[in-house]
Amino acid sequence: MKVRSTTKQSNLQPMSVKRLENADKKPKEITNWIDSINELHRNKPPPTVNYSKPMPDIESLMQVWPPEIEDLLQQIQIPGAEVALNLKEFARLACAILDIPVYDNAVQSLHLLFSLYSEFKHNQHFQTQEDLPV
């Protein structure tokens, strides 16, 4: 099971699952199985995406912006959904504001944008700030 959990191959054959007879009389075996599955999940590598073009890493995108940019963002209004752009143009605009490059296909850029959003959303520093829009 360990090899299956870390491989990216999709052509693996189905595995048979062991059946435990009289499971109600064997709590130790059930506990051992649960522990082994938990260990398997703990050791599973995080999912990764290999971008086809150079992309900034999440940590660099999460850096604090220079004070000039912060001040400018307080003075101007970033376009919302009502802006007269189609979805592709709006996605490019959102990525450009966050310094995420967009190549011919915006899917990878959008993946990075949503990964960045997820990082901020789950960051403990920002969870304490209830005034942040979600």
> How big is the CA angle at 130 (ends 128 and 131), to the nearest 5 degrees?
130
Q: What is the mean pLDDT of residues 20-34?
A: 88
What's this model's pTM, rounded to 2 decimal places?
0.59
Share of the chain above pLDDT 90, in %: 40
Q: Does the structure show a pLDDT above 60 at 1? A: no
